[in-house]
Amino acid sequence: MPRPAVASSPGRRDLVVLWAGVAVLLPALLVSAAPISTIDLAYGIRAGALVLDGDGIQRVDTFTFTAAGMPWLNQQWLAQVVFAAAHRAGGWPALATLWAVIVVAIQALLWRAARSMGADARWAGVALLLGFVVAAQGIGLRAQVLGLLCLASLLALVADRRQHPARLLLAVPLLAAWANVHGSFPIGLALLGLAAVQDVAAHARPRAAIAVLIGASLATLANPFGVDIWRYVAAIGTDPTITRFVVEWRRTSPLDLAGAVFYGSVAAVVVLVAARARSPDRPSLTALAWLVGLAFLGAWAVRAVAWWGVGAAPAVAALLTAGAARRVGSMASAPVSQVGTRVGPSRAPIALVAALVLVLVAVQPIWRPSPDGAGIGSRMNDAPAGIARAVGEGAGGRPAARVFNAQRWGSWLELATPEVLVFADSRIELIPVTAWRDYILVSEGDARWREILDAWRVDFLVVALADQPALAALVRHDAGWQVTHEDADGLVAVRSAPLASGRTPPALTFELRPPRRDPS
How confident is the model at residue 357, as a pLDDT? Answer: 84
Cβ(81)–Cβ(46) below 8 Å: no
DSSP per-residue letters across 266-309? HHHHHHHHHHHTTSTTPPPHHHHHHHHHHHHHHHH-GGGHHHHH
Beta carbons within 10 angstroms of residue 445's beta carbon? 15
Rounded-to-10 torsion of CA 278, 282, 286, 288: -80
Compute mean pLDDT per 10 residues along the chain, 520 residues long, and list them: 43 82 92 91 97 95 96 96 94 90 96 94 95 95 97 97 94 98 97 96 91 98 96 82 76 92 97 87 91 96 95 95 51 40 58 83 71 59 92 83 96 95 94 94 96 95 96 95 95 87 44 39
CA distance 206 to 77: 35
Give how far the C-alpha of residue 304 lies from the chain's centroid of Cα atoms, to the nearest Å: 10
- Nearest C-alpha neighbor of 37 from the set 146, 156, 140: 140
Q: Is 441 helix (H, G, I), strand (E, B) or coil?
A: helix
DSSP 220: T
SS3 of 310-346: HHCHHHHHHHHHHCCCCCCCCCCCCCHHHECCCCCCC
Q: What is the residue extent of each domain of the chain?
A: 10-362, 382-495
Look at residues 290, 255, 366 and name the one whose alpha carbon lies nearest to residue 113.
290
Q: What is the pLDDT of residue 380?
A: 85
Question: Residue 394: phi, psi to the nearest 5?
Answer: -70, -30
- Please answer whether residues 405 and 219 qualify as being in contact, where contact means their C-beta atoms are separated by less than 8 angstroms: no
Q: How far is CA 146 from CA 77, 98, 204, 398, in A?
A: 12, 11, 31, 38
